[in-house]
A and B are shown apart, each in its own frame.
Chain A
Amino acid sequence: MLPPDKLLPETQPVYVQSWIYVFGVATLAALLFVIASGLLLTLMGPAWYHVSSKGHFVNSVHLWSVELFFVFMVVHLWGKFWMAAWRGRRAMTWITGVVSFLTSIGTAFTGYLVQTNFDSQWISSEAKDGLNSVGIGAWFNVTNFGQMLLFHVALLPLVVGFLVAWHIVLVRKRGVVPPLEAQETGAQL
Protein backbone atom coordinates (compact mmCIF):
# COMPACT_ATOMS: atom_id res chain seq x y z
CA MET A 1 0.00 0.00 0.00
CA LEU A 2 2.79 2.41 0.97
CA PRO A 3 6.29 1.82 -0.41
CA PRO A 4 9.15 3.26 1.75
CA ASP A 5 9.86 6.13 -0.67
CA LYS A 6 6.26 7.26 -0.34
CA LEU A 7 6.09 6.75 3.45
CA LEU A 8 9.31 8.72 4.04
CA PRO A 9 9.90 10.74 0.86
CA GLU A 10 13.18 12.61 0.34
CA THR A 11 11.64 15.33 -1.80
CA GLN A 12 8.42 17.32 -1.73
CA PRO A 13 6.70 19.50 -4.35
CA VAL A 14 8.09 23.05 -4.59
CA TYR A 15 5.00 24.68 -3.06
CA VAL A 16 5.75 22.90 0.26
CA GLN A 17 8.50 25.53 0.74
CA SER A 18 6.16 27.69 2.80
CA TRP A 19 5.84 28.20 6.57
CA ILE A 20 2.15 27.25 6.44
CA TYR A 21 3.18 23.68 5.53
CA VAL A 22 5.36 23.45 8.67
CA PHE A 23 2.51 23.48 11.17
CA GLY A 24 1.32 19.90 10.59
CA VAL A 25 4.66 18.43 11.59
CA ALA A 26 5.03 21.05 14.35
CA THR A 27 1.73 19.77 15.79
CA LEU A 28 3.06 16.21 15.61
CA ALA A 29 6.31 17.24 17.36
CA ALA A 30 4.33 18.90 20.16
CA LEU A 31 2.18 15.76 20.46
CA LEU A 32 5.31 13.63 20.97
CA PHE A 33 6.30 15.92 23.88
CA VAL A 34 2.76 15.63 25.29
CA ILE A 35 2.90 11.82 25.15
CA ALA A 36 6.44 11.55 26.57
CA SER A 37 5.77 13.92 29.49
CA GLY A 38 2.36 12.30 30.08
CA LEU A 39 3.94 8.84 30.31
CA LEU A 40 6.42 10.17 32.87
CA LEU A 41 3.61 11.77 34.94
CA THR A 42 1.68 8.48 34.81
CA LEU A 43 4.72 6.54 36.00
CA MET A 44 5.51 8.85 38.92
CA GLY A 45 2.03 9.86 40.13
CA PRO A 46 0.38 13.03 41.57
CA ALA A 47 2.42 13.18 44.80
CA TRP A 48 5.56 13.50 42.66
CA TYR A 49 4.32 16.15 40.23
CA HIS A 50 2.61 18.20 42.94
CA VAL A 51 5.52 18.27 45.38
CA SER A 52 8.97 17.71 43.82
CA SER A 53 10.71 20.27 41.63
CA LYS A 54 11.38 17.68 38.89
CA GLY A 55 7.72 16.71 39.03
CA HIS A 56 6.68 20.36 38.69
CA PHE A 57 8.97 20.70 35.69
CA VAL A 58 7.54 17.64 33.88
CA ASN A 59 4.02 18.78 34.78
CA SER A 60 4.79 22.16 33.19
CA VAL A 61 6.31 20.50 30.10
CA HIS A 62 3.05 18.53 29.77
CA LEU A 63 0.94 21.71 30.05
CA TRP A 64 3.02 23.88 27.71
CA SER A 65 3.47 21.18 25.06
CA VAL A 66 -0.34 20.86 25.05
CA GLU A 67 -0.63 24.66 24.64
CA LEU A 68 1.80 24.52 21.68
CA PHE A 69 0.00 21.43 20.30
CA PHE A 70 -3.26 23.38 20.10
CA VAL A 71 -1.66 26.62 18.81
CA PHE A 72 0.09 24.73 15.99
CA MET A 73 -2.98 22.60 15.27
CA VAL A 74 -5.24 25.67 14.93
CA VAL A 75 -2.79 27.35 12.49
CA HIS A 76 -2.60 24.00 10.60
CA LEU A 77 -6.42 23.81 10.57
CA TRP A 78 -6.83 27.39 9.25
CA GLY A 79 -4.14 26.87 6.62
CA LYS A 80 -5.75 23.64 5.37
CA PHE A 81 -9.28 25.10 5.52
CA TRP A 82 -8.40 28.13 3.37
CA MET A 83 -6.64 25.96 0.78
CA ALA A 84 -9.61 23.50 0.73
CA ALA A 85 -7.37 20.60 1.69
CA TRP A 86 -10.11 18.01 1.07
CA ARG A 87 -9.51 18.31 -2.70
CA GLY A 88 -8.01 15.44 -4.72
CA ARG A 89 -9.52 12.46 -2.84
CA ARG A 90 -8.34 13.89 0.49
CA ALA A 91 -11.78 13.95 2.19
CA MET A 92 -10.82 11.26 4.72
CA THR A 93 -7.55 13.10 5.51
CA TRP A 94 -9.63 16.20 6.33
CA ILE A 95 -12.19 14.19 8.36
CA THR A 96 -9.56 12.32 10.44
CA GLY A 97 -7.91 15.70 11.14
CA VAL A 98 -11.16 17.32 12.28
CA VAL A 99 -12.16 14.34 14.46
CA SER A 100 -8.69 14.13 16.04
CA PHE A 101 -8.92 17.90 16.78
CA LEU A 102 -12.28 17.40 18.55
CA THR A 103 -10.98 14.33 20.42
CA SER A 104 -7.89 16.31 21.47
CA ILE A 105 -10.17 18.96 23.02
CA GLY A 106 -11.84 16.22 25.09
CA THR A 107 -8.45 14.80 26.07
CA ALA A 108 -7.16 18.21 27.16
CA PHE A 109 -10.39 18.90 29.03
CA THR A 110 -10.15 15.64 31.03
CA GLY A 111 -6.53 16.64 31.75
CA TYR A 112 -7.77 19.79 33.48
CA LEU A 113 -10.20 17.60 35.48
CA VAL A 114 -7.49 15.30 36.87
CA GLN A 115 -5.04 17.90 38.18
CA THR A 116 -6.15 16.91 41.72
CA ASN A 117 -6.37 20.52 42.92
CA PHE A 118 -9.04 23.15 43.55
CA ASP A 119 -8.87 24.25 39.92
CA SER A 120 -9.98 20.81 38.72
CA GLN A 121 -12.80 20.74 41.29
CA TRP A 122 -14.05 24.10 40.03
CA ILE A 123 -13.79 23.12 36.34
CA SER A 124 -15.58 19.77 36.86
CA SER A 125 -18.49 21.27 38.79
CA GLU A 126 -18.93 24.06 36.21
CA ALA A 127 -18.54 21.61 33.29
CA LYS A 128 -21.14 19.24 34.75
CA ASP A 129 -23.77 22.00 34.56
CA GLY A 130 -22.61 22.95 31.06
CA LEU A 131 -22.65 19.39 29.72
CA ASN A 132 -26.03 18.67 31.36
CA SER A 133 -27.47 21.80 29.74
CA VAL A 134 -26.55 20.53 26.25
CA GLY A 135 -27.96 17.06 26.98
CA ILE A 136 -24.84 14.91 27.06
CA GLY A 137 -24.37 14.77 30.82
CA ALA A 138 -25.88 11.26 31.04
CA TRP A 139 -23.11 9.68 28.95
CA PHE A 140 -20.33 10.32 31.46
CA ASN A 141 -19.80 12.08 34.78
CA VAL A 142 -17.14 14.77 34.79
CA THR A 143 -17.13 14.85 38.60
CA ASN A 144 -16.25 11.12 38.68
CA PHE A 145 -12.48 11.40 39.14
CA GLY A 146 -11.71 7.73 38.41
CA GLN A 147 -13.69 7.77 35.17
CA MET A 148 -12.08 11.05 34.01
CA LEU A 149 -8.57 9.84 34.91
CA LEU A 150 -9.06 6.67 32.83
CA PHE A 151 -10.55 8.74 29.98
CA HIS A 152 -7.47 11.00 30.10
CA VAL A 153 -4.66 8.45 30.41
CA ALA A 154 -6.12 5.48 28.49
CA LEU A 155 -9.26 5.86 26.37
CA LEU A 156 -8.84 9.28 24.75
CA PRO A 157 -5.04 9.10 24.10
CA LEU A 158 -5.63 5.76 22.33
CA VAL A 159 -8.32 7.36 20.15
CA VAL A 160 -6.16 10.45 19.41
CA GLY A 161 -3.11 8.25 18.68
CA PHE A 162 -5.10 6.04 16.30
CA LEU A 163 -6.66 9.02 14.49
CA VAL A 164 -3.33 10.88 14.17
CA ALA A 165 -1.60 7.74 12.83
CA TRP A 166 -4.44 7.25 10.30
CA HIS A 167 -4.26 10.97 9.36
CA ILE A 168 -0.48 10.79 8.72
CA VAL A 169 -0.74 7.58 6.66
CA LEU A 170 -3.43 9.28 4.53
CA VAL A 171 -1.24 12.41 4.10
CA ARG A 172 1.62 10.19 2.91
CA LYS A 173 -0.71 8.15 0.69
CA ARG A 174 -2.46 11.07 -1.01
CA GLY A 175 0.42 13.57 -0.71
CA VAL A 176 0.27 17.08 0.76
CA VAL A 177 -2.43 19.22 -0.79
CA PRO A 178 -1.25 21.77 -3.38
CA PRO A 179 -2.25 25.45 -3.05
CA LEU A 180 -5.44 26.42 -4.90
CA GLU A 181 -3.51 28.12 -7.70
CA ALA A 182 -1.09 25.21 -8.25
CA GLN A 183 -1.71 22.60 -10.92
CA GLU A 184 -1.97 19.08 -9.54
CA THR A 185 0.25 16.56 -11.25
CA GLY A 186 0.36 12.79 -10.98
CA ALA A 187 3.44 12.99 -8.73
CA GLN A 188 1.49 14.82 -6.06
CA LEU A 189 -1.36 12.34 -5.97
Chain B
Amino acid sequence: MSVHQLLAVGLDGPAHYFTWGPIQISLANLVVIAIIVILFVLAIVLPFPKSKSRP
Protein backbone atom coordinates (compact mmCIF):
# COMPACT_ATOMS: atom_id res chain seq x y z
CA MET B 1 0.00 0.00 0.00
CA SER B 2 1.45 3.38 -1.05
CA VAL B 3 1.69 6.48 1.14
CA HIS B 4 -1.05 8.14 -0.90
CA GLN B 5 -3.41 5.25 -0.27
CA LEU B 6 -2.65 5.34 3.45
CA LEU B 7 -3.32 9.11 3.62
CA ALA B 8 -6.42 9.04 1.43
CA VAL B 9 -9.76 9.58 3.14
CA GLY B 10 -12.60 7.52 1.67
CA LEU B 11 -15.43 9.80 0.55
CA ASP B 12 -17.50 7.20 -1.27
CA GLY B 13 -19.48 5.99 1.75
CA PRO B 14 -22.13 7.91 3.68
CA ALA B 15 -20.85 10.50 6.23
CA HIS B 16 -20.82 9.73 9.95
CA TYR B 17 -23.34 11.83 11.86
CA PHE B 18 -23.88 12.58 15.53
CA THR B 19 -27.39 13.37 16.74
CA TRP B 20 -28.23 14.98 20.06
CA GLY B 21 -31.95 15.81 20.10
CA PRO B 22 -32.56 18.53 17.50
CA ILE B 23 -28.81 18.93 16.87
CA GLN B 24 -27.26 16.87 14.08
CA ILE B 25 -23.68 17.33 12.93
CA SER B 26 -21.31 15.35 10.74
CA LEU B 27 -18.02 14.03 12.12
CA ALA B 28 -16.11 16.09 9.50
CA ASN B 29 -17.76 19.36 10.59
CA LEU B 30 -17.23 18.47 14.28
CA VAL B 31 -13.51 17.90 13.59
CA VAL B 32 -13.22 21.31 11.86
CA ILE B 33 -14.94 23.04 14.82
CA ALA B 34 -12.63 21.18 17.26
CA ILE B 35 -9.57 22.35 15.26
CA ILE B 36 -10.80 25.98 15.42
CA VAL B 37 -11.34 25.76 19.20
CA ILE B 38 -7.88 24.19 19.72
CA LEU B 39 -6.28 26.87 17.49
CA PHE B 40 -8.04 29.63 19.47
CA VAL B 41 -6.88 28.23 22.83
CA LEU B 42 -3.29 27.80 21.55
CA ALA B 43 -3.29 31.39 20.18
CA ILE B 44 -4.17 32.66 23.68
CA VAL B 45 -1.88 30.32 25.67
CA LEU B 46 1.28 29.97 23.57
CA PRO B 47 3.91 32.69 24.03
CA PHE B 48 4.76 34.73 20.93
CA PRO B 49 8.47 34.55 19.93
CA LYS B 50 10.21 37.75 20.97
CA SER B 51 12.14 39.81 18.42
CA LYS B 52 15.93 39.73 19.00
CA SER B 53 16.55 43.15 17.46
CA ARG B 54 13.92 44.92 19.55
CA PRO B 55 13.50 44.53 23.29
A residues with CB within 8 A of B: 17-20, 22-23, 67, 71, 74-75, 78-79
Contact = CB atoms under 8 A, between A and B. Distances in A.
A75 B40 CA distance: 6
Given A22-B43, A75-B40, A79-B40, A17 B48 contact: yes
Interface residues of B, number: 12
A71 B48 contact: no
Contacts, number: 28
A177 to B, nearest CB: 15
B1 to A, nearest CB: 22
B32 A71 contact: yes
B40 A78 contact: yes
B25 to A, nearest CB: 16
A75 B36 contact: yes
Contact of A23 (B43, B50, B51): B43
B30 interface: no
Contacts of B43: 18-20, 22-23, 75, 79
A40 to B, nearest CB: 24
The A interface, classified by DSSP as helix, strand, loop or mixed, is helix
Contacts of A17: 48, 50-51
B39 A71 contact: yes
Q: Can you list the 3 inter-chain pairs with the closest CB atoms, starting with the nearest?
A: A19-B43, A20-B43, A17-B48
Contacts of B44: 19-20, 79
B48 A75 contact: no
Given A75-B40, A75-B43, A79-B40, A19 B48 contact: yes
Nearest to B39: A75
B36 to A, nearest CB: 5
